[in-house]
Amino acid sequence: MAEADTKPYPSKQADIDYEKEITDAIKKLPVEQRLQMIAMNKYTLKRKVRDQEDDKKIDASIVKYNNLEDPHLRACNDIIAGERAPLESEIEQFKEHLTEEEKGKVAENLEASPITEYWYKAITQCCKLE
């Protein structure tokens, strides 16, 4: 992350210039409005700082999620591409969907073969694209 991203708002030159424009505009207002705008600007700046802090937390959560999800996604993609066969442990909880005859044939049918046009079928058959 760039150093400018770790400093509190405003740290980038464009933001500093923008805040200067706002401050200059506030200075031109009548005193009654100026006091109101100064107070409102204070809370706007606080919100921008909080948003910046929240963005960092969100980014960290996304990285954590991606790190947790990556092995699962890789396993699915390997099965879809036919790079590996499903493991019996991966289908164990779903054996209830098989007949007794099919359960007896599980071991001989666990093979690695690509699922052709998987993503095309998944997208076109699972939801309507408009």
Cα distances (angstroms) measured from residue 75 to each of 69, 106, 113: 10, 19, 14
Radius of gyration of the chain (CA): 28
- Rounded CA-CA distance 30/27 in Å is 8
- Rounded CA-CA distance 119/124 in Å is 8
The pLDDT tens digits of the residues spanning 17-28 come to 999 999 999 999
pLDDT for 111 beyond 80: yes
pLDDT for 103 equals: 86
Averaged pLDDT for residues 5-15: 78
Give the number of other Cβ atoms within 10 Å of residue 12's Cβ: 13
- Give the residue carrying structure tokens 């700046």: 45
